[in-house]
Chains A and B, each alone.
Chain A
């Protein structure tokens, strides 16, 4: 999956514009980064990558890039 495809998928999951997702964007600065969005990211990893991630993994994500790196 290319970086562009990952960002497209992540934007769809988080329900925001792709332009708001830069690699160095801090997740804490995104208004949408709430419990529902975090859960959506957990489900997206399961559906798209067959990866079970937990709320502990979510806490370790600081920037958008941290999520992108795990999307494989």
Chain B
């Protein structure tokens, strides 16, 4: 049968693959035939996710993306052990919730390191000669927070807006090399970051208003992974520089 989103033998690097949308994307892409290279901090979680992947030839690496300076070396190691990449999904992210008076530079930097600086540094490292195959597709998991403001979400929103702006620039810069670069922008999805949101403000009026505007309810990781898999596939070969909203109706209501 014809499969529009065929990822057979595509080698896809996924950061933050140990949980949530990263883990779900790893599982889905493996079902579609891809060879998955997972990177995350927690080895025990990576081992669990690896067991749920279909097919063979997958690999995982324990790496903390806060070490931005080490990323170039890390990518070299991956490419030398796994070969050139066909896809990269940046799912690693920190969900920071802080009032301005507690948003000191070290906190802002910690969020930007994982959510943003590592995204750009990985792209810089994998787009070097011999590190990628023609048709490379890069997908960053951003958020609708990049377009909406909310109190205490300065660091998170800014890091996601930076990702969105970056893909618009890099899409144009890299298209000659047949590389596509996009972000997906989910609203509230059932992940660890959602649990954090519930713990901090789940019963507040703000939270109730947010959920009422997201009228299709809470999203599941697979709702995001489906779009990521599509963007990774050749079926999306005309899409680059886009920020694709997946919000259960929230921004339009």
Residues of B within 8 A of A40 (CB): 99, 101-102
Which residues from 153 to 193 on chain B have a C-beta closer than 8 Å to any C-beta of chain A? none
B102 touches A44 (CB 8 A): yes
Q: Is B151 an interface residue (CB 8 A)?
A: yes
CB distance from A36 to the nearest CB of B (A): 6
Which residues from 85 to 127 on chain B have a C-beta closer than 8 Å to any C-beta of chain A? 97-99, 101-102
CB distance from A44 to the nearest CB of B (A): 7
**When each residue 23-57 of chain A gets 1 if its CB lies under 8 Å from chain B and 0 otherwise, what string results?**
00000000000011001101110010000001110
Say which size band chain A's interface belongs to.
Answer: 10 to 19
Residues of B within 8 A of A35 (CB): 201, 204, 206
Secondary structure type dominating chain B contacts: loop
**When each residue 206-222 of chain B gets 1 if its CB lies under 8 Å from chain A and 0 otherwise, what string results?**
10000000000000000
A contacts, CB < 8 Å to B: 13, 15, 35-36, 39-40, 42-44, 47, 54-56
B contacts, CB < 8 Å to A: 97-99, 101-102, 151-152, 199-204, 206
A43 touches B204 (CB 8 A): no
User: What 18 new A-B contacts, CB under 8 Å, besides A36-B99, A43-B97, A55-B200?
Assistant: A13-B102, A35-B201, A35-B206, A39-B97, A39-B98, A39-B200, A39-B201, A40-B101, A42-B200, A43-B99, A43-B102, A44-B102, A54-B199, A54-B200, A55-B199, A55-B201, A55-B202, A55-B204
